[in-house]
Amino acid sequence: MAEHLTYEQMAKKYPNRWLGINNIKYLNNDGISIESADVVYTNKSKDELFAEQFKSGAIEAWYTADESLLGLEVLDVF
């Protein structure tokens, strides 16, 4: 069952982890800054999540930063 969280809650609960998310709400509809989303997967690798994303399009793979990085622009997480 999916858990609906804000980005800050995701980063705090699952710091520095790849998540599979959907039903994403973006800040100001910018398509980049996540306000909240449903967390579907917390236990898959980056490769597994990207495979699922490309296969079904039902989720997006997203990496959370711990609280020390919140507010910083992350240029390259890959």
Q: Evaluate whether 40 touches 20 at the Cβ level (below 8 Å).
A: yes
How confident is residue 78, by pLDDT bands cut at 50, 70 and 90? very low
Q: What is the pTM of this model?
A: 0.77
- How many structural domains compose the chain? 1
Q: In this structure, how many other beta carbons lie within 10 angstroms of the beta carbon of residue 1?
A: 4
Interval 30-70: pLDDT, tens: 888 899 999 999 999 999 999 999 998 889 999 997 655 54
User: Per the domain annotation, does 74 fall within a domain?
Assistant: no
Provide CB contacts within 8 A for 73, sequence distance 6+: none
Tell me the residue range of the domain where 38 lies.
Answer: 3-66
User: Per the domain annotation, does 28 fall within a domain?
Assistant: yes
User: Per the domain annotation, does 72 fall within a domain?
Assistant: no
User: Per the domain annotation, does 11 fall within a domain?
Assistant: yes
User: Per the domain annotation, does 24 fall within a domain?
Assistant: yes
